[in-house]
């Protein structure tokens, strides 16, 4: 009989982190061109793994040590370890999952599942791989929409898919989901993908488009005040040049690094990110709430208000 050794988690100090995210696996069945997880500066080698018992133990220890109340389960593709994710979700007051949807949509009543789709079929598949759009659509239609799970489709807007936002909303308008969310591409400092905007004033036009769509389509989950904070004349107030103003910076990012141990990256989007061009919706939503002295964001996932 082989015994599994359960190691203590990495020492990240004693600071409180009401919100965290965890990479459940470095493995993924897709190779999306925009993905920040697989950048060279970020720990994400599929050979680095943590076994189930260790993962559950370490998450519990870190929860208690850092007072983590809200956990976002991510990957790689978290549904590759579906059973483990479902168990680990029970450890936290609030748990949510972000998935590529190709392994089906998990039924997790009372929780949020964000399903990534980056545009209508042609554009999504150009970024996420051929056949992915139809596969995700089938999964969404196969689920029981009355099971109590909140399911949101999330499109990451890039310079490549920026012109098909309305087409996307129309394409999914009759899908059995609770809403559609938009977030924008987060580049790294030496981004050469061509997916980001060199001049943020060009991105402004797209932000304005999302604001206009939000006014037309109630299915869109977005806070117009937060989107306005993304505009180029004020966006640094929310991000800072190096993340010093970023509300998301207090989220503890648990990546899996060498030897299968948790490693903390600079922020949720990994290392070597370009904060001046960050498009993460949650950053601007957080800044909006800070500015208006509203309750601090609990998990960065509040989408509408
Ligand atoms: C990294 S994925 C991990 C979970 C799962 N594999 C998925 O695709 O949903 C989480 C989310 O980050 C988004 N994403 C990936 N690269 C991004 C980038 N450079 N900037 C902003 N969002 C990005 C994805 O589109 C997805 O919605
Ligand atoms: S499915 Fe998710 S983790 Fe996998 S490559 Fe695409 S964005 Fe990255
Ligand atoms: S890249 Fe975005 S989320 Fe990360 S620290 Fe910078 S502003 Fe915050």
Counting the structural domains of the chain, the total is 1
- Angstrom CA distances, 228 to 22, 79, 210, 269, stand at 29, 34, 10, 22
Q: Which pLDDT score is estimated for 304?
A: 53
Atom of ligand 3 nearest to the CA of 267: 4
10-residue stretch averages of pLDDT, the chain, 305 residues long: 84 97 98 97 94 98 98 98 98 98 98 98 98 98 97 98 98 98 97 96 98 97 97 98 96 97 98 98 95 63 48
Q: How far away, in angstroms, is 183 Cα from ligand 2 center?
A: 15
Q: What is the pTM of this model?
A: 0.96
Contacts of 95 (CB under 8 A, 6+ apart): 70, 71, 72, 73, 88, 89, 108, 111
Distance from residue 244's CA to the centre of ligand 2 (Å): 27
Nearest-CA residue for atom 3 of ligand 3: 248
Domain housing 177: 19-291
Please tell me the predicted confidence (pLDDT) of residue 302. Answer: 46
pLDDT in the model for residue 78: 98
**Residue 300: per-residue pLDDT:** 45
Cα torsion angle, 94, 264, 35, 274, sign: positive
- What is the whole-number distance in angstroms between the Cα of residue 274 and the centre of ligand 1? 16
Q: What is the pLDDT of residue 301?
A: 46
> Is there a domain that residue 8 lies in?
no
What does the pLDDT read at residue 4?
A: 77
Is 37's C-beta closer than 6 angstroms to any atom of ligand 2?
A: yes
Q: How far is the CA of 264 from the centre of ligand 3 (A)?
A: 14
With a 6 A CB cut-off, is 124 part of the ligand 1 pocket?
A: no
Residue 61's CATH number: 3.20.20.70
Q: Give dist(CA 152, CA 165) in Å, integer.
A: 16
Compute the distance from residue 66 Cα to the ligand 3 centre, in Å: 21
Decide if 187 is inside a domain: yes
pLDDT, residue 293, reads 74
Residue having the nearest C-alpha atom to atom 6 of ligand 2: 32
Establish whether residue 75 lines the binding site of ligand 2, counting it when its CB lies within 6 angstroms of any ligand atom: yes
The answer to whether the CB of 161 is under 6 A from ligand 1 is: no
Q: Would you state the pLDDT for residue 133?
A: 98
Give the pLDDT confidence score for residue 295 in this predicted structure: 64
Indicate if ligand 3 lies below 6 Å from the C-beta of 248.
yes
């Amino acid at each position: 009989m082989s015994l599994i050794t359960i190691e203590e988690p990495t020492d990240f100090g004693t600071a409180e982190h009401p919100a965290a995210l965890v990479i459940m696996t470095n493995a993924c069945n897709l190779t999306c061109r925009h993905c920040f997880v697989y950048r060279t500066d970020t720990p994400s080698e599929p050979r680095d793994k943590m076994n189930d018992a260790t993962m559950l133990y370490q998450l519990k220890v870190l929860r208690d040590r850092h007072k983590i109340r809200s956990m976002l389960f991510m990957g790689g593709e978290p549904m590759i370890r579906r059973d483990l994710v479902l168990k680990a979700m029970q450890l936290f007051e609030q748990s949510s999952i972000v998935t590529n949807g190709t392994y089906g949509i998990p039924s997790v009543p009372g929780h949020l599942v964000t399903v990534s789709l980056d545009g209508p079929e042609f554009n999504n598949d150009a970024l996420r791989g051929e056949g992915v759009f139809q596969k995700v659509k089938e999964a969404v239609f196969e689920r029981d929409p009355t099971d109590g799970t909140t399911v949101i489709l999330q499109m990451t807007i890039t310079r490549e898919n920026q012109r098909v936002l309305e087409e996307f909303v129309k394409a999914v308008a009759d899908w059995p989901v609770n809403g559609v969310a938009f977030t924008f591409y987060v580049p790294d400092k030496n981004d050469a993908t061509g997916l980001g905007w060199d001049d943020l004033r060009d991105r402004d036009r797209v932000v304005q488009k999302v604001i206009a769509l939000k006014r037309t389509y109630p299915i869109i989950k977005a806070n117009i005040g937060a989107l306005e904070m993304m505009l180029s004349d004020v966006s640094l107030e929310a991000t800072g040049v190096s993340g010093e103003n970023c509300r998301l910076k207090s989220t503890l990012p648990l990546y899996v690094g060498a030897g299968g141990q948790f490693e903390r990256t600079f922020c949720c989007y990994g290392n070597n990110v370009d904060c001046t061009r960050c498009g993460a919706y949650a950053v601007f939503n957080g800044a909006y709430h800070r500015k208006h002295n509203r309750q601090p964001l609990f998990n960065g996932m509040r989408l509408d208000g």
